[in-house]
Amino acid sequence: MKLFGSVDTPLVVAAISGNVINNAALASELGADVVEIRLDLLDSTTSIYDSISYITENFSLPVIITNRLAEEGGGWKESELKRVELLTTLMPLSDAVDIELKAPLRDVVINKAKELDKIVIVSAHDFIETKPLDELASILKEEHRVGGDISKLAVTPHSSQDVLNLLQAGVASHHPVCTIAMGELGKHTRIIAGLYGSVLTYASVEEATASGQLRVDTVKKLIKLFYQKKS
């Protein structure tokens, strides 16, 4: 299963919650390449194992599981141990797992994912600012060093220079990255970051799960305009 995309066309990840089966079906109809199931945004995780099983059996979409820390914009309200236990329980059903660079039990998740031969996305989110270029580059490098197959970095820009710094950090990386500038100022990065090394871009099927997120079908149309696959 190829999740990394290519230098020409980033994969469009549909971030879904709510009724995950219905939203996965909608994501597929809209043209998503991958679905990310946001466990932290679900009203209940009681039947999530069966739901993910259904998705993997009935839709040709790789599945990323994410259980976002509250400190990084997530909705998880229980203990860190329970958060990680849910991730590791569902990991065999998934193709990839997202874990935060600053997560207390980060290495437990990464080691389990490596054991199961799953793709690891190590992520960091800054809802306040965009650090200087050298710090952005260091974060991406550290995410890779700790075991990330893809280094994900989402920041809040306050100027065009902030956006340029994020894109430059992505270009300078020597491994797969996903770079996102959140909010209105960075909305265009969800389309063009792939031109600067980003292998994934996140989109919504209904309500956005992050500031500046566009709908899957909109992103797919714009990507078709901006990118041309090599023959």
Q: Please give the positions annotated as active site.
A: 125, 152
68 marked ligand binding residue: yes
Residue 159 contacts residue 183 (beta carbons within 8 Å): no
**What pLDDT, on the 0 to 100 scale, is given for residue 2?**
52
Q: Is residue 164 part of a domain?
A: yes
Distances (CA, A) of 86 to 122, 188, 197: 17, 34, 31
Could you tell me if 49 and 89 are in contact, meaning their C-beta atoms sit under 8 angstroms apart? yes
In a domain, 21, yes or no: yes
Q: How many domains does the chain have?
A: 1
Q: Distance between CA 190 and CA 173 in Å, rounded?
A: 18
Residue 110 among known ligand-binding residues: no
CA distance 170 to 10: 13
Residue 213 annotated as lining a ligand binding site:
yes
Q: What is the pLDDT along the chain (231 residues), one digit of tens a residue?
A: 455 555 568 999 999 998 999 999 999 999 999 999 999 999 888 899 999 999 999 998 999 999 999 999 999 989 999 999 999 999 999 999 999 999 999 999 999 999 999 999 999 999 999 999 999 999 999 999 999 999 999 999 999 999 999 999 999 999 999 999 999 999 999 999 999 999 999 999 986 666 778 999 999 999 988 887 644
- Answer whether residue 202 is part of any domain: yes
- Give the CATH number, domain containing residue 211: 3.20.20.70
26 vs 31: CA distance, rounded Å? 9
For residue 181, being part of any structural domain is answered with: yes
Distance CA 196, CA 189 (A): 10
Task: Give the domain extent around 125.
Answer: 11-224
Residue type, 169: A
6 found inside a domain: no
pLDDT of residue 208: 64
The Cα–Cα gap between 210 and 17 comes to 12
Q: SS3 for 231? A: coil
Q: What is the pLDDT of residue 212?
A: 73
Q: Is 5 contained in some domain?
A: no
2 domain-assigned: no
pLDDT at position 46 is 84
189 is in an annotated binding site: no
Amino acid at 76: W
Does residue 172 fall inside a structural domain? yes
Query: Left (φ > 0), alpha (ψ -120 to 50) or beta: where does 158 sit?
Result: alpha
For every residue of 197-222, DSSP letters joined together read TB-EEEEESSS-SSTT--BHHHHHHH
Tell me, what's the pLDDT at 1?
Answer: 42
Q: Torsion angle, CA of 136/84/18/151, rounded to 10 degrees?
A: 20
- Check whether 209 is labelled as a binding-site residue: yes
Q: Which residue has the tokens 């709510």?
A: 18
Cα separation, 196 vs 167, in Å, equals 6
